[in-house]
Amino acid sequence: MKRRFVWAALAALVLSVSILSGMRIFAAQGEKGERLWLVTEQGEPDALADVVVSGGLFDETHSVRYSIEEGQISTQIEPRITREQFRAYQRSAYWYSNPSWYDAQTDSDVTLANDLGIYWFPPTAKVEEQNKLIQEFKDGTRTVTRVLKSDQICTTETVHKNGKSILMLPAYYIEMPGIRFFRLESYYTETGERFEHRESQEGRDWAIEHSNKSDNKLCQLNGDYYYITTTNSNYRGYGSICRLENWDAYAFMQWEDDQRYARYDPLDLERLKELDAHQGYTRLYNIDLEEGKRCIYGMSVLDEKLAVLTYTQEGAPEGMANYALWLFDVARNQFVCKQEVGSFPLKDYQVDLFPQEDAITLCFYSKTQKEPAQLLTVVHQEGRLRPLNRLKLERPRPAIPTEVRGVWYRDGKTYLYQIISDLERPENEEEPGGDYRPDALPSLLISVFEGERLCYTGRLEGDYQEDYAVTGRLSTNIQVRRSFSPVAFAAKEEQP
């Protein structure tokens, strides 16, 4: 009789321990279980033979790394990701063409958290309003509410007792005479779109000529952040290249500053220097805007220098603008060379800058997606900029927009990827790809150009698409769907 219970106890123990430790085997198998495959749409997959394509998929709980090498796709699931990793992935997925934005965001978060005691609330935090954190400053003179959204990309907001202003990074520029000083602030919505918020003493506003969606204002060079004020033809005075130094300076704005700036003469450079002393940046160079004739589009990095893209309407046909790329040497603090890039329509046109180590690719495309996108790769050789090849990227299908997410150039071949939603839309629809369609299955489109000829297009499909397929109860929570993080192209290592 006794023996039976001994056996029962032993059996319970052994079974429990073995089942619980068996989970390890289950986990190891599951980690390999993600399936991805490449569907050739055009050309031969051999075009990818001399590169390694690597990228990732992520959702709130896990991420998947994959790499494509010689037609073989290998995947590895990372079963646990932290909140910080998830936020980093989210940022990288939104600010795809300019990783400086999410690096800067992370850096400023860390600094703020260390110095000012700001914490991200976990989503289940029992606070009245999840996103609000009231913060008393040590000097006791002002109370600032900093609004941090724990799950969203980034919305930083400072609310002063005297008024409200929204601050992302400071962008100071000088306005038309009579309107005096304007402060440009930008912030991000949950979907990564950017809003520009303008305030002036008169409260005037006007239509934005260029909305610079891809945020070419910020870039990172040798560990420092550089910032450029982007302008359009409404701006007067100087646009500036600044080096950002002290994140704390961006944590809050002083109300008094607004008053001070309001009184100051926009063209007084001496006064500008005096005001700069209070800020966390060094103004490196002032670019004369020539009464609005020269406009600054954005900035990126090329060959350890800053590549500044400007445009002007001077000498261009009506409704067009001539773009030019300048190279700014930070060490010598001067522009070293310039290259005309071409003329493109002014309205609804967007330029993305894709820097790589030795080259930069400019991607011009119309936001209405009527014309093919144009890509231009520029290298810096022997002290001057040299445009290498210019290619046109047609829309693969009418439903698919031409927005490019990443470009890599090597030895006459251009590799690029796009994220497409494979949803047939009516031909005459105004803005394809503009709105969010929950029933669209996304996939990754990889294209290879040899010279100016499109030689391969392939679509990366896989299990992740099941997340987007319509379920009985459509989950509106975007965080439980696997999304793409940026794709990296690299040369294949030579086998000895």
The residue ranges that bind another protein (CB under 8 A) are 2-3, 5-6, 8-9, 12-13, 15-16, 19-21, 23-24, 26-27, 29-31, 33-35, 59-62, 77, 79-83, 119, 121-122, 125-126, 133, 463, 466-467, 469-473, 475, 480
Sequence-ordered list of residues with C-beta below 8 angstroms from that of 15, at least 6 positions apart, any chain:
none
Measured at the CA of 300, the angle between CA 434 and CA 151, to 5 degrees, comes to 50
Taking the least distance from each CB to another protein, the nearer of 151 and 175 is 151
Q: To the nearest 5 percent, what fractions of the chain are helix, strand and coil?
A: 20, 40, 40
Taking the least distance from each CB to another protein, the nearer of 16 and 333 is 16
Sequence-ordered list of residues with C-beta below 8 angstroms from that of 316, at least 6 positions apart, any chain:
322, 343
Least distance CB 455 / another protein (angstroms):
32
Place of tokens 């509106």: 476
Question: What length is written for the chain?
Answer: 496
Least distance CB 311 / another protein (angstroms):
46
Taking the least distance from each CB to another protein, the nearer of 428 and 471 is 471
Sequence-ordered list of residues with C-beta below 8 angstroms from that of 215, at least 6 positions apart, any chain:
95, 98, 101, 194, 298
Gap between the Cα atoms of 213 and 157, Å rounded: 20
Cα dihedral 221, 357, 342, 294 in deg (nearest 10): 10
Taking the least distance from each CB to another protein, the nearer of 85 and 333 is 85
Taking the least distance from each CB to another protein, the nearer of 477 and 495 is 477
Taking the least distance from each CB to another protein, the nearer of 57 and 325 is 57
Cα end-to-end distance, the chain, whole Å: 70
Measured at the CA of 114, the angle between CA 112 and CA 120, to 5 degrees, comes to 65
Q: Are 52 and 474 in contact (CB under 8 A)?
A: no
Least distance CB 440 / another protein (angstroms):
15
Least distance CB 32 / another protein (angstroms):
9
Gap between the Cα atoms of 287 and 267, Å rounded: 13
Taking the least distance from each CB to another protein, the nearer of 30 and 71 is 30
Taking the least distance from each CB to another protein, the nearer of 9 and 491 is 9
Taking the least distance from each CB to another protein, the nearer of 315 and 472 is 472
Taking the least distance from each CB to another protein, the nearer of 209 and 463 is 463
| 360: exposed, middle or buried (Cβ count in 10 Å: 0-12, 13-18, 19+) | buried
Sequence-ordered list of residues with C-beta below 8 angstroms from that of 26, at least 6 positions apart, any chain:
none
For 398, the token pair is: 């009418």
DSSP-assigned letter for residue 6: H
Sequence-ordered list of residues with C-beta below 8 angstroms from that of 433, at least 6 positions apart, any chain:
369, 400, 401, 403, 420, 421
Taking the least distance from each CB to another protein, the nearer of 148 and 454 is 148
DSSP-assigned letter for residue 493: P
For 172, the token pair is: 């100071």
Place of tokens 């014309």: 371
Residue 109 phi, psi (nearest 5): -60, -50
Gap between the Cα atoms of 496 and 480, Å rounded: 43
Least distance CB 462 / another protein (angstroms):
9
For 293, the token pair is: 């004739």
How far is C-alpha 458 from the chain's CA centre?
24
Taking the least distance from each CB to another protein, the nearer of 13 and 269 is 13
Least distance CB 135 / another protein (angstroms):
11
Cα 174 to Cα 11, 200, 286: the distances in Å are 80, 11, 11
Taking the least distance from each CB to another protein, the nearer of 57 and 287 is 57
Least distance CB 77 / another protein (angstroms):
8
Least distance CB 136 / another protein (angstroms):
14
Gap between the Cα atoms of 398 and 375, Å rounded: 19
